[in-house]
Amino acid sequence: MADLRHYRYFVEIAQRGSFTAASASLHVTQSALSEQILLLERQLGCRLFDRGRHGARLTSHGEALFDQAMLLLSVANDLEQSARSLQRRQSRPLRIGATMGPLLIWLPEALSRLSQGNQRLDVRIEDITTAEIFLRISIGQLDLGIASVGDSGLSVGSGSGVETHRLFEDDWVIMVPAGHPFAEDVAVPLSALRDEQLILFPKYSALRMVLDELFTRSGVSLTPAIETGWLEMAVRFVEVGMGVAVVPRAVTLLPYRDVRVVEIDEAHVPRRVLTALYRSDTPRRGTIEKLLSLARDHMPSDDTWPALSGSAFTPLHTSSDDGSTRR
């Protein structure tokens, strides 16, 4: 059966007007080109060219075939371009944008497991705001966004083309230095923090707005001593005695020693929600959904939080399937 190459040779000869010119253009010897055209003519059961001193002219059968051959080659070219475009999109790095507050200690292991099914997995992770995550997901500059928001969730309008998925939820706790007066308490009200040096998230960040509302309900006016979006840095500031912090409970999974964690004694403490966002039409959807499925296997849950009650918090270890331990 004739293949695409035969029709490409046929069109080249018809456009060049001779076997000699076509063989030079195609970088094929003239004898090999003639042999392939003879094979095509045998397959089709008709003569396609009149050969002579004038070169090669299409016969009536050749003229009838020419337009169809051009259409075939055009479709084949479109298919090749589409395949190459898809390959380029799939081979580029997986672009992830995350707010500084989510505490992504589960992400490396999830990405490691995902890479086991991929010959090569390139990843680019940026620390950006929740608003910028939504914008860049919307316009296709990011493949996956991970945002830490209040329990009201992230407002995404219908028809936006962006899907949101809750990964996990937790509440808030108070972190104090080991020698702090609150260090042995089980729980304290937020009003007790009125005169404390507060370490808080940056103003107008999603988590800071949740805390502002929480403190306002408790009658406390916030005047932070330090603002940072880096949870690890906030814990370190507490550890060296520069203040106290109100942080998501997931922070208790970090490996710090000279810090005490106590509960918030309030009637209603809002939840912190870790949310994933991606475009529904992204070509990386399969990869993203597999990553999120793997991520959920490593998310903290209510029975994995370290016991607090004024104790120092230490790294959390759980048993893996093979009996070993992992943080």
Please report the pLDDT score of residue 264 as a whole number: 92
How many other C-beta atoms are found inside a 10 Å radius of the C-beta of residue 210?
24
Q: Among candidates 173, 172, 140, 138, which has minimal Cα distance to 157?
A: 138
Q: Among candidates 308, 234, 324, 253, which has minimal Cα distance to 104?
A: 253
Tell me how many degrees the CA angle 8-13-18 measures, rounded to the nearest 5: 160
Pair of tokens at residue 283: 């070509």
Q: What is the pLDDT along the chain (327 residues), one digit of tens a residue?
A: 668 889 999 999 999 999 999 999 999 999 999 999 999 999 999 999 998 878 899 999 999 999 999 999 899 888 887 777 666 555 678 999 998 766 777 888 888 888 886 656 789 999 888 888 988 998 889 999 998 877 655 555 445 788 888 888 888 999 999 999 999 999 999 999 988 999 998 887 878 888 888 888 888 888 889 998 888 888 899 999 999 999 988 888 777 788 999 999 988 888 888 889 999 999 889 889 999 998 888 776 655 544 443 333 333 323 334 433 332
Q: How far apart, in whole angstroms, are the C-alpha atoms of residue 256 and residue 211?
A: 23
Q: How far apart, in whole angstroms, are the C-alpha atoms of residue 253 and residue 235?
A: 11
**In which region does residue 279 sit, left (phi positive, over 0), alpha (psi from -120 to 50) or beta (all else)?**
beta
Check residue 201 and report its DSSP letter.
Answer: P
Q: Among candidates 217, 220, 218, 201, which has minimal Cα distance to 209?
A: 201
Please report the pLDDT score of residue 81 as a whole number: 79
Contacts of 277 (CB under 8 A, 6+ apart): 133, 134, 137, 144, 145, 146, 147, 154, 156, 162, 163, 164, 165
Main-chain phi, psi angles of 123, to 5 degrees: -130, 140
Q: How far apart, in whole angstroms, are the C-alpha atoms of residue 176 and residue 128?
A: 27
Q: Among candidates 200, 197, 175, 324, which has minimal Cα distance to 256?
A: 175
pTM: 0.61
Q: Do 222 and 212 contact (CB within 8 A), yes or no?
A: yes
- DSSP E strands in the chain: the ranges are 49-52, 55-58, 94-98, 123-127, 144-150, 162-170, 172-177, 187-188, 198-200, 226-227, 244-248, 259-264, 272-279, 318-319, 325-326
Chain centre to alpha carbon of residue 309: 37
**Residue type, position 19, single letter:** F
